[in-house]
Structure 1
């Protein structure tokens, strides 16, 4: 059996397995609660070894212990701490397959005419620079490992549709989309895929009585992390129940 046939067989086994990430090693920033925590649980249920990187030490440690993972304190605005989180994965399991750049903050509202630049820079340091740090050090490790990998970044429906969040938050999340596309272009030659997710939240949906849930987002991240999305890169997977695609208040025109 040649190497290509063997690789194809291994990929099929991964896809057909009930554990879609069996044996893979993942780092999740902002993994102690919310989307990050839900994703950490789903990853572990699907056979992944998960490193949770967060600033919530007690919650993060407890979650890591409950899923057989590892926890490291990590402020993503500090490049050296993101680098350390990646090193924990490599020292623990000898590789890195999945990087989920999830950490972020909501920031502050207010008029553009009164925006405080110091507050905006603090938000960008976490929401945008943190993603740059994550892609940089995950890519370095994945290139050295010569096995490819997948990098997933958290954007938002606010990056697609105006009026859903503050100016600074909207700017940070839209910048992430551009960064993901450009890095997908560079890293594809190494077999590294870079994609985004854009959740919308609990309110607003074309699906009557159905809002967004953490589990919905976690399952979307699972898809992008798994071999099932092996030909998907430079993509933004919007998880919004169709909210940013259509205006439902005129749906009465479809009634007979």
Structure 2
């Protein structure tokens, strides 16, 4: 039985571990051809090997999404290997400062906005011609529950994730004219390397768990189903929306 993404080609950035890896795996399990990417060749090789051992149709490429030449190569190689691009999942992000927001160094501020926001915008902008060739497309931005309820010690990171919600709303009507949809996923507190600073501190973890009605942290796999839904025709009448995957944590702008 063909999966719901059979015939689709997807790019997932920062997809060699954590949420990105889980999304790449799920899209491939559901029938898509997937281009895996991250900044380190070794990580790309390991991820591709693991997924190919599951008989999934994936390839991999090193890509620093803040570099135009890397983004161009990512698109060109995906088209060369798979014939086109139907789905873009922009997952790459960084948090380069932990502490009071007003103490954030300027270079950390710039790095976070450059990677977390500008790169997502440029990826969306630059992939449009390839999606137009296919007649349609789906873009998925990975935001965060911190977009709704900023976390004090990662204030600028939280701000960049709020900006992605705005980018989603801004681009939705413009992309609709090209028959391209864009939506967000806002994960809650997910068990990944990225959240280690929180999850390995017992006091901080207990405080976090007290805010989650389901009483536990999420897993990367629990974010992947939302991505597959947004990539598929099951969500054909959805654009400009955000799916919050947070175990019940409340989020409201």
2:149 counterpart of 1:149: no
For the 8 Å contact 2:23–2:227, the answer to whether it is kept is yes
1:88-140 superposed Cα distances (whole Å, 9 cap, x missing partner): 11111221000000011122122233221111101211111110121112212
Question: Which among 230, 242, 249 is matched to residue 243 of structure 1?
Answer: 249
1:11-50 paired onto structure 2 within 5 Å? 19-50=3-34
In the alignment, what sits opposite 2:86? 97
2:228 counterpart of 1:222: yes
For the 8 Å contact 1:146–1:190, the answer to whether it is kept is no
Which structure carries more relative contact order (alpha carbon 8 Å, separation 6+)? 2
For the 8 Å contact 1:39–1:221, the answer to whether it is kept is yes
In the alignment, what sits opposite 2:198? none
2:59 counterpart of 1:54: no
Aligned to 1:172, what secondary structure does the other structure show? helix
Q: Report deviation, 1:146.
A: 4.3
1:71-110 paired onto structure 2 within 5 Å? 71-110=60-99
For the 8 Å contact 2:15–2:38, the answer to whether it is kept is yes
Aligned to 2:177, what secondary structure does the other structure show? helix
Larger Rg: 1
For the 8 Å contact 1:61–1:70, the answer to whether it is kept is no
Misfit runs of 4+, over 6 Å: none
Query: What is the rounded CA distance, in whole Å, between the counterparts of 2:76 and 2:16 in structure 1?
Result: 19
For the 8 Å contact 2:95–2:157, the answer to whether it is kept is yes
1:80-229 paired onto structure 2 within 5 Å? 80-143=69-132, 145-163=133-151, 166-202=154-190, 203=209, 204-208=211-215, 210-229=216-235
Query: What is the rounded CA distance, in whole Å, between the counterparts of 2:153 and 2:48 in structure 1?
Result: 31
Aligned to 1:190, what secondary structure does the other structure show? coil
Query: What is the rounded CA distance, in whole Å, between the counterparts of 2:152 and 2:101 in structure 1?
Result: 15
1:6-38 superposed Cα distances (whole Å, 9 cap, x missing partner): xxxxxxxxxxx6611112100010011111111
Query: What is the rounded CA distance, in whole Å, between the counterparts of 1:51 and 1:39 in structure 2?
Result: 11
Query: What is the rounded CA distance, in whole Å, between the counterparts of 2:124 and 2:5 in structure 1?
Result: 20
TM-score where L is the length of structure 1:
0.84
TM-score where L is the length of structure 2:
0.85
Unpaired stretches in structure 1, ≥5 consecutive residues: 1-16, 247-256
